[in-house]
Amino acid sequence: MNAVLTLARREMAATFDSPIAYIAGSVFLVVTGLLFFFGYDGSADFFAAREATLRPLFEYAPWTLAVILPAVTMRLVAEEKKSGTLELLVTLPVSDLQIVLGKLLGAFGFLAVTLAVTAIFPIMIATVGHPDLGAVIGGYVGLLLIGTAFLALGLLTSTWTHNQIIAFIVGLLLCVFFWTATDALLKLAFDRPPLALELLSFRTQFEAFAKGVVDIRNVVYFLSVTAVAVVASTYSLQSRHWK
């Protein structure tokens, strides 16, 4: 556990040492902000709607997270593979699972910091209305969970290559796929998709959080995706043994 925390701390420091954290974070904040205020096609107007709600944030943030989080996770393993530091890392007395968890936790730190900065949105709204605090908290819990799932997917792709750009692109595709494409694909394939398939979509699973409801089913879903990605990443790291 100690090693996981140590590694997480280093990863987080490394993230915030590199400009990518600030670029990704700022892009996230600005793009999400623009979507929040103007909608995806610029037709919405938050202030004209006169509703003290953070719903638009929770509607759009997963989109932007799906794009920026792979940019943060892309370096996690790929960079170490390229520079060779991975060899040092994995020959330290820690297990591969600990390494994966530590890296995930470090990236989670970035997610948490970035989301903490978005507190500026509810604070802004609170100056002109009374947002439902419970719903806001629910939304943030959801963002943390869906963000963690994205991070785990991004981490997984980072273990597949030593090229960060490839890790990013594949991670991005994977995240966007889980977020939205399942919807689109299902729509193509079925008149009314079976519930089991509908439930595969991050979007479906995220809905309740955006409303302020923390449902154990949704929580377990995101944790499952994260767990599967973590285990897959661990085995991906271990695959050096049988190559």
Site for another protein in 184-243 (CB under 8 A): 191-192, 195-196, 198-199, 204, 207-208, 211-217, 220-221, 224-225, 227-228, 231-232, 235, 238-243
Least distance from C-beta 30 to another protein, angstroms? 6
Which one of residues 40, 42, 129, 165 is an interface residue with another protein (CB under 8 A)? 129
Burial track 22-60 (b if 16+ CB lie within 10 A, e otherwise) = eebbeebbebbbebbeebeeeeeebeeeeeebbbbbbbb
Taking CB under 8 A as the rule, does residue 182 contact another protein? Answer: no
- Chain centre distance of CA 191: 30
Exposed, middle or buried: residue 106 (CB in 10 Å: 0-12, 13-18, 19+)? buried
> Residue 230 corresponds to which tokens in the numbers above?
């973590």
Which one of residues 50, 188, 189, 194 is an interface residue with another protein (CB under 8 A)? 50
Taking CB under 8 A as the rule, does residue 180 contact another protein? Answer: no
Q: Which residues contact 123 (CB under 8 A, 6 or more apart)?
A: none
Least distance from C-beta 19 to another protein, angstroms? 8
| CA–CA distance, 198 with 180 (Å, rounded to integer) | 11
Which one of residues 60, 117, 161, 186 is an interface residue with another protein (CB under 8 A)? 117
Least distance from C-beta 105 to another protein, angstroms? 14
Which one of residues 33, 70, 106, 171 is an interface residue with another protein (CB under 8 A)? 33
Least distance from C-beta 169 to another protein, angstroms? 23
Taking CB under 8 A as the rule, does residue 131 contact another protein? Answer: yes
Which one of residues 93, 188, 189, 194 is an interface residue with another protein (CB under 8 A)? 93
Burial track 130-146 (b if 16+ CB lie within 10 A, e otherwise) = ebeeebbebbbbbbbbb
Tokens 């890790």 -> residue:
167
Stretch that binds another protein, among 62-70, 77-85, 150-158, 167-175 (CB under 8 A): 77-85
Exposed, middle or buried: residue 195 (CB in 10 Å: 0-12, 13-18, 19+)? exposed
Q: What backbone phi and psi angles, to 5 degrees, belong to 235?
A: -70, -30
Which one of residues 104, 111, 125, 170 is an interface residue with another protein (CB under 8 A)? 125
Which one of residues 16, 66, 186, 188 is an interface residue with another protein (CB under 8 A)? 16
